[in-house]
Structure 1
Amino acid sequence: MSIDITITIILVLVAAGIGYAIGNVLRKKLSNSLVTDAETLAAKMIEDAKRQTEVMAMEAAVQAKDAVYQAKEELEKQFEQETREKRRDLQALEKRLQQKEENLDKKTNLFDQRDADFLKREQALAVREQSLVTKEQTLGQKEEKLDALVGEQKAKLEQIAGMTSAEAKKFLMDSMEDEAKLDVAKLIKAMEEEARETADKKAKEILALAMQRYAGEYVAERSVSVVTLPSDEMKGRIIGREGRNIRALEAATGIDLIIDDTPEAVILSGFNPVRREVAKLSLQKLIADGRIHPGRIEEVVAKSQEEIEQAMKEAGEQAAFDLGVHGIHPEILKLIGRLKYRTSYSQNVYQHSLEVAFLCGIMAAELGINVKQAKRAGLLHDLGKAVDHEIEGSHAVIGADIAKKYGESPKIVHAIMAHHEDEKPATVLAVLVQAADALSGARPGARREMMETYVKRLDDLERIATSFDGVLTSFAIQAGREIRVMVSSEQVTDDRALVLAKDIAKKIETEMTYPGQIKVNVIRETRATEYAR
């Protein structure tokens, strides 16, 4: 059994070997056939590729020749066009050159002709110059003869008149000057009398009526404020440890605190009345509260500043309400309220502004012009004094700029600008504001001055008046609002007195500074005395 299996296995193995060998032979034949076919196909593809390459190369050569030919034609056309254009430009240039050449020829001919004319003129001028030299010599001789004749005539005239030519000339000029002054004085006097007939009476009536209908209260203001203390012990608490409280208060308010031997009082010193009022109010609150230290001081000062700002705003609104003037910008109302703490010659500017507004309204009503506009201009005329210590310039100019900035009308702006002659008054409203301002400031008791300033002003008035020829003596009266000048009736005539009054007034305006106006009265008196025996 095992032998059969072994034989079978051997037979199978032999058959497998024979099959493997037959397979190898068949595979080799098949592969050789496939390689031969592939080589034949590759050779054919190579030949086809070569033929296509040759065709494409021939086509590319033809296209290249066409492109070169076209480019050559385009270059030839472009060259021909450029050649034609250059030929045209050259022809135009040639024409211009020909024209310029012709113009140069014409100018050359003209210059030649001018040179010839110039030579002729030079010759003519030389002849004239020679003639003028001759005439000048002749005139010089004649002038010498005339000078000699004039000298002889002048000497004869001086001998006949008994004075030199300079003395005669001075005498003539003096006489003409005196006559001219007299004529001018007469003319001025006649014109003033004519104007006074119609204007003086009415003006006096209006001013008198305005002064009678309004009399404002007078409030004296100074540059220091006094705060009353409950006891002298409070001074130490105000000063604080090592002076820290008083330093904090001065730094917060900008006001100097003076604590001296004055019993139960502290003095606040400063030129800014608003800051001084803030310091006064703050100190009063601190004394009433009892808590005095740097932190509390800053808090109270800030609160006091807000209260003062509110008070100024309310004061401005109250002034506008009292006058019946509406539509004023809130910032302007604040500045009007600020005037409550501003003084001029010790006159409260807030009260002064109200006075001027009322006076303007009264006079405007009498003259038949817009009353509300007049009151508005009077109220705002000193607006610049609220900030004149912060901004340089005249308070009238500052006030006009502020009014213009916040939308006031050109008439109001002009009235503010012109009330101190910073601008020439050009409207009735501007003149009214001037008059009302003078009335409010010049009325008795409205303003106060130091005794030294007052006496010096009176002395200056009398000195200026007595410096003129013909003045015997002078007296300053009415608190310096009027000066009476006594003149010699022999040296000063009635007509000359009018000129003298104007000259004195003009010199006072030039050399002095004063509030309101000063009246100059020149008095000429002639006395005749006789005795009956």
Structure 2
Amino acid sequence: MNATVVGVVSSVVFLIVGLLIGYLLRKNVGESKIGSAEQKAQNLILDAENAAENIKKEKILEAKEETHRLKSDLENEIRDRRKEVEKSERRILQREENIEKKLENIERREDGLSKRERSMNEKHQKIDEYLAKQMEELEKISGYTQEEAKQILLDEVEKDIRKDASAMITQVETEAKDEADKRAREIVTMAIQRCAADQVAETTVSVVPLPSDDMKGRIIGREGRNIRAIETLTGVDLIIDDTPEAVILSGFDPIRREIARIALEKLITDGRIHPARIEEMVQKATKEVNNIIKEEGEQACFETGVHNLHPEMVKLLGRLKYRTSYGQNVLKHSIEVSLLAGLMASELGYDPRLAKRAGLLHDIGKSIDHEVEGTHVEIGANICKKYKESWKVVNAVQAHHGDAEPTTMEAVLVAAADALSAARPGARRETLESYIKRLESLEEIANTTKGVDKSYAIQAGREIRIAVKPNQVKDDEVPMLAREIAKKIEGELEYPGQIKVNVIRETRATDYAK
């Protein structure tokens, strides 16, 4: 047992000794390694310090070189700037010297001008005095004052200007008329060629043929009761005279005259003529005429292409079938005006539908002008307003006789178409009294004009020829006189179409050979 213990103890001792030896060996090795590492670190630090010192020296050198270079560049730039400043200073000094020289020259010129001005003022004063003396001498010699002489000169200048103006007016009017007439003839001719309308002159009487003269007694009736019944129911006068086999119906209202004519024809055909039968036939004739009026109004709208008219306006249009103006049927005239205005509007690039509508309605006031106070223009405009026609149509109705200013081109075309339809030969006729009165008024306007010797209305009042006094009116004043008379005629007379004013100046010299 002791031996085992000894062995264990010895083993432990050897183990401890071995551990101590190993520790010592490791410590020596570690210390030797640490020492070499410190040495290397010191060497590296020294090398780094040396390298940093070298780099620092190099950078310092480079900075010094760069500073030197910048300094030299700055010095060169400063030197160049100084040279430029010196040049600018020299230029400024030179300009100042030039300005001073110019100012001196200007002052010398001003002195010279002031001297000249004083001299000129003195000369002008002398000239004014001299002119005043001359003017006094001229006034003494001529016997006219300065104002009188000036007025004489102005009168002469005015005559020359009037002469030139007259010549210019003549030339411009001739050129304008030639061009306007050419264009107007083309448009009107085209419109008339495309518009064909029948025209029949009508009167205020109607003739009813009879199968025999015995029928006259039956129409008169016992003690005239039949004729009285007819006249009372229709408002038309029956003229039964010696005219063979005919009875004349006379009345200013064409619708009532037409009712009487139809009723009388029915009575003659029926053969039973007595007051009760007469009343029955008059009622039937009234219904028939009303239907005809409506159909004629619708037919007029169809012919002209005017639609969407109020039914009452259609009836009023139909009534125009039995209305005449200077013998011209007003419904036919309205249709013709509508077609002419529409064709001219299409040719000129305006609204043909508006022109047709206004043309068809322009005389609608004539359908009731014997029932309502006022002119047919006023009545027609009120009718159009009542049935909600556009303001353009109302303006065309108001302006077609010059009662209002036309505000649309279509209104102007309606007025032109109205004049064209009414003024063409055969369309209308005038009573002898109104015709003679119009011609006398035309000649009177011309004769009351200064310088007129004689005047003659010819061509049914379409032209007036005026002979002037040659000692009062000169050749260059003739166009102005013609224009003056034309303006008077336009302002004082109402007439369809246009009137040509022809002024004639003639100088005659007479001598005798003995």
Whether these two folds match at TM > 0.5 is yes
Instruction: State how far apart, in whole Å, the 1-side matches of 2:247 and 2:147 are.
Output: 76
Task: Give structure 2 stretches of 5+ with no counterpart.
Answer: 1-136
Per-residue deviation, 1:492: 3.0
Q: Which amino acid in structure 1 is aligned with residue 399 of structure 2?
A: A
The counterpart of 1:205, out of the listed 161, 186, 197, is 186
Q: Tell me which residue corresponds to 2:19.
A: none
Per-residue deviation, 1:374: 1.0
1:338 pairs with 2:319: yes
The counterpart of 1:387, out of the listed 368, 374, 381, is 368
Is the CA contact 2:267–2:273 (under 8 Å) kept in the aligned structure 1?
A: yes
The counterpart of 2:272, out of the listed 291, 303, 307, is 291
Q: Tell me which residue corresponds to 1:214.
A: 195
1:317 pairs with 2:308: no
Structure 1 residues 514, 170: closer, same or farther in 2, change over 3 A? farther
After TM superposition, the score normalised by the length of structure 2 is 0.65
Q: Tell me which residue corresponds to 2:447.
A: 466
Per-residue deviation, 1:231: 1.4
Instruction: State how far apart, in whole Å, the 2-side matches of 1:180 and 1:250 are.
Output: 71
The counterpart of 1:518, out of the listed 484, 491, 499, is 499
Is the CA contact 2:201–2:427 (under 8 Å) kept in the aligned structure 1?
A: no
Is the CA contact 1:397–1:422 (under 8 Å) kept in the aligned structure 2?
A: no
Instruction: State how far apart, in whole Å, the 1-side matches of 2:369 and 2:313 are.
Output: 14
Question: Equivalences for 1:260-299 in 2 at 5 Å?
Answer: 260-299=241-280
> CA offsets, 1:50-97, max 9 Å, x none?
xxxxxxxxxxxxxxxxxxxxxxxxxxxxxxxxxxxxxxxxxxxxxxxx
Instruction: State how far apart, in whole Å, the 2-side matches of 1:506 and 1:262 are.
Output: 50
Structure 1 residues 479, 214: closer, same or farther in 2, change over 3 A? farther
Instruction: State how far apart, in whole Å, the 2-side matches of 1:445 and 1:427 are.
Output: 30
Is the CA contact 2:337–2:359 (under 8 Å) kept in the aligned structure 1?
A: yes
Question: Equivalences for 1:46-445 in 2 at 5 Å?
Answer: 185=166, 192=173, 196=177, 199-445=180-426
Per-residue deviation, 1:480: 1.4
Instruction: State how far apart, in whole Å, the 2-side matches of 1:460 and 1:166 are.
Output: 44
Per-residue deviation, 1:252: 0.6
Structure 1 residues 166, 249: closer, same or farther in 2, change over 3 A? farther
Secondary structure of residue in 1 paired with 2:308: coil
Q: Tell me which residue corresponds to 2:26.
A: none
> CA offsets, 1:366-425, max 9 Å, x none?
101111211111111111111111111121121111011112111111101110111111
Structure 1 stretch displaced more, 383-392 or 518-527 = 518-527
Task: Give structure 1 stretches of 5+ with no counterpart.
Answer: 1-155
> CA offsets, 1:23-53, max 9 Å, x none?
xxxxxxxxxxxxxxxxxxxxxxxxxxxxxxx
Q: Which amino acid in structure 2 is aligned with residue 496 of structure 1?
A: E
Instruction: State how far apart, in whole Å, the 2-side matches of 1:461 and 1:455 are.
Output: 10
Q: Which amino acid in structure 2 is aligned with residue 318 of structure 1?
A: Q
Per-residue deviation, 1:502: 2.6
Instruction: State how far apart, in whole Å, the 1-side matches of 2:157 and 2:220 are.
Output: 78
Instruction: State how far apart, in whole Å, the 2-side matches of 1:161 and 1:343 are.
Output: 72
Secondary structure of residue in 2 paired with 1:447: coil
Structure 1 residues 320, 231: closer, same or farther in 2, change over 3 A? same
Instruction: State how far apart, in whole Å, the 2-side matches of 1:300 and 1:164 are.
Output: 94
Instruction: State how far apart, in whole Å, the 2-side matches of 1:311 and 1:185 are.
Output: 58
Per-residue deviation, 1:192: 4.5
Secondary structure of residue in 2 paired with 1:292: coil
Instruction: State how far apart, in whole Å, the 2-side matches of 1:271 and 1:176 are.
Output: 62
> CA offsets, 1:173-222, max 9 Å, x none?
97798678667656755765675576443223212222333342221111
Structure 1 residues 336, 490: closer, same or farther in 2, change over 3 A? same
Instruction: State how far apart, in whole Å, the 2-side matches of 1:196 and 1:252 are.
Output: 57
Instruction: State how far apart, in whole Å, the 1-side matches of 2:465 and 2:194 are.
Output: 30
Instruction: State how far apart, in whole Å, the 1-side matches of 2:233 and 2:384 are.
Output: 31
Q: Tell me which residue corresponds to 2:3.
A: none
Q: Which amino acid in structure 1 is aligned with residue 498 of structure 2?
A: Q
Structure 1 residues 483, 210: closer, same or farther in 2, change over 3 A? farther
Q: Tell me which residue corresponds to 1:59.
A: none
Secondary structure of residue in 1 paired with 2:206: strand
Structure 1 stretch displaced more, 269-278 or 496-505 = 496-505
Q: Which amino acid in structure 2 is aligned with residue 427 of structure 1?
A: T
Instruction: State how far apart, in whole Å, the 1-side matches of 2:217 and 2:155 are.
Output: 79
Q: Which amino acid in structure 2 is aligned with residue 440 of structure 1?
A: S
Instruction: State how far apart, in whole Å, the 2-side matches of 1:348 and 1:443 are.
Output: 14
Instruction: State how far apart, in whole Å, the 1-side matches of 2:448 and 2:202 are.
Output: 37
Per-residue deviation, 1:324: 1.3
Structure 1 residues 267, 340: closer, same or farther in 2, change over 3 A? same
Secondary structure of residue in 1 paired with 2:397: helix
Per-residue deviation, 1:440: 0.5
Larger Rg: 2
Question: Equivalences for 1:427-506 in 2 at 5 Å?
Answer: 427-488=408-469, 491-493=472-474, 495-506=476-487
Aligned length: 375
Per-residue deviation, 1:241: 1.5
Structure 1 residues 296, 167: closer, same or farther in 2, change over 3 A? farther
Q: Which amino acid in structure 2 is aligned with residue 340 of structure 1?
A: K
After TM superposition, the score normalised by the length of structure 1 is 0.63
Instruction: State how far apart, in whole Å, the 1-side matches of 2:305 and 2:443 are.
Output: 45
Is the CA contact 2:381–2:397 (under 8 Å) kept in the aligned structure 1?
A: yes
Q: Which amino acid in structure 1 is aligned with residue 297 of structure 2?
A: G
Is the CA contact 1:245–1:294 (under 8 Å) kept in the aligned structure 2?
A: yes
Per-residue deviation, 1:465: 2.1
Instruction: State how far apart, in whole Å, the 1-side matches of 2:313 and 2:153 are.
Output: 63
Instruction: State how far apart, in whole Å, the 2-side matches of 1:345 and 1:173 are.
Output: 53
Sequence identity of aligned pairs in percent? 63
Secondary structure of residue in 1 paired with 2:203: coil
How large is the Cα RMSD of the aligned pairs? 3.3
